[in-house]
Amino acid sequence: MTTKVYEIYDINGSCLYVGVTKDPKRRFRQHVNYPPLSRRGTGRFYQQQVFMKVIDEFISRQDALKKEEELQIEYGFKTNKEIYYEWSMLGNVKGKTQGAYAAAKKSYQCPRCKKWGNSNVWLGQHINSGTKACPKNA
């Protein structure tokens, strides 16, 4: 099975995201059908009007990841390496990054106010001005 590089566009035709997947239909559903930070998908474009375009197809996942990084740089997005580096800077707890430790404990901490919750859905609602909104929302 090949690995595909895809882009997600808004209705104005602006590229919003670049990614890789083996199953574009499933990945698109994950982006748009699930709330942010849900376990089934990223939810980055939850209930938004966006569309996906497969840009290229590769036999090697490594080649697809290289193409993804080129496109991320071209569009001015953060590369995966930059994102993973930022995650690693959250610090360590018992030899794991804070994110990995929180996921293992099924407990999540708001990066803004440091309050803890019991699910990643709670965290998404908290950060995004849900019913239990973060007091430090801008």
- CATH of segment(s) 3-84: 3.40.1440
DSSP 3: E
Q: What is the pTM of this model?
A: 0.61
pLDDT at 77: 87
Domain ranges of the chain: 3-84, 90-127
- CA angle, 20 then 70 then 84, to 5°: 65
For the stretch 1-14, what's the b/e string if a residue is b when 16 or more beta carbons lie within 10 angstroms of its beta carbon?
Answer: eebbbbbbeeeeee
Query: Closest Cα to residue 49, out of 74, 66, 32, 25?
Result: 32
First-to-last C-alpha distance (Å) of the chain: 44
Q: What is the mean pLDDT of each run of 10 residues along the chain (138 residues)?
A: 93 91 91 70 79 95 92 88 68 52 55 66 58 60
pLDDT at 82: 79
